[in-house]
Amino acid sequence: LRSGGFAELPRVLYQRKDPNAPYYSPNFGFEAGVFLQFIVEHYDALPEQVVFLQGDPGNHVDMASLDETVRCLNAGRVPYFSFSKMPFLMKRDLDSYTGVHSPESVRGFIHRMPACVRQLLQLFGVAVEEGQRLLVSTYCCATFTASRDAIRRHPLSLWRYVYEVVGSGSNQCVFDDHGGTGSHVPGLADLNEGFIMEHIWHAIFGEPLISAPHRGDETCRFARCGKYCPDPSRPQLGLFAAFVPTTTT
């Protein structure tokens, strides 16, 4: 991101190694901790459109198309859109999901995760009826864009509180019943508040919990033509399938 077309784009690159160096982010909450920190620190000076990428975006995004895709966005008019090239998660049940861990190995805390999901969704005004299963459909691996207006639908005080829960390690809502810490409880290090946020960003910005995969013919709603142009004739799933190089004759 420091070279090529991205070099001229305004950006903030956080790091988690040196607390005395600029843009330090505590190592809590995976990428969600960093995303939330950015929102809190820049809430009053957000650009019209924000692109949230993880530290090695090539693992989750088609880097060959990302630069032009970002430039094609209709800034300020895209409440939420995922850039992920990763699988679409279809109706994942967060009431029972234990990742790669056996239910027995994480029984000391795994029931805390659904309660934390419900708490965070309620804070953002997303209703989950009593007794309703926590089924979520969204793209894996939080890599997305959100507009300034979509972010500011929620007050700074709320974002700051959620950052404390997810990104600072000071107010966790997923914890071990027996007093263990993330480093001592198997699974807790990867089934935490950051893992939860990966599954609910889309709902925070206005999409239903059970959302639908993006279609190529949707792109005309949020992108303008550049080197890569929205092509409504290509209905493949995913953002990048809809952008094809223009040709000259």
Q: What is the 3-state secondary structure (H, E, C) of 1-50?
A: CCCHHHHHCCCCCCECCCCCCCCECCCCCHHHHHHHHHHHHHHHHCCCEE
Per-residue pLDDT band at 41 (split at 50, 70, 90): very high
Spatial neighbors of 84 by CB under 8 A, at least 6 apart, are 60, 61, 139, 140, 141, 142, 143, 144
| Predicted TM-score (pTM) of this structure | 0.84
Q: pLDDT, tens digit, for every residue of 49-86?
A: 999 999 888 888 877 777 777 877 888 988 998 888 88
What residue segments make up the domains of the chain, in order of their start? 4-245
- β-bridge mates for residue 237, sequence order: 215
Which candidate, 124, 1, 17, places its Cα nearest to that of 51?
1
188-234 pLDDT, tens digit per residue, is: 566 788 889 999 999 999 999 999 887 665 665 677 654 444 454 54
- Specify the range with the lowest mean pLDDT, choosing from 85-94, 104-113, 153-162: 104-113
Q: Cβ distance 83 to 66 under 8 Å?
A: yes
E strand residue ranges, 24-133? 49-52, 80-82, 88-93
CB 81 within 8 A of CB 74: no
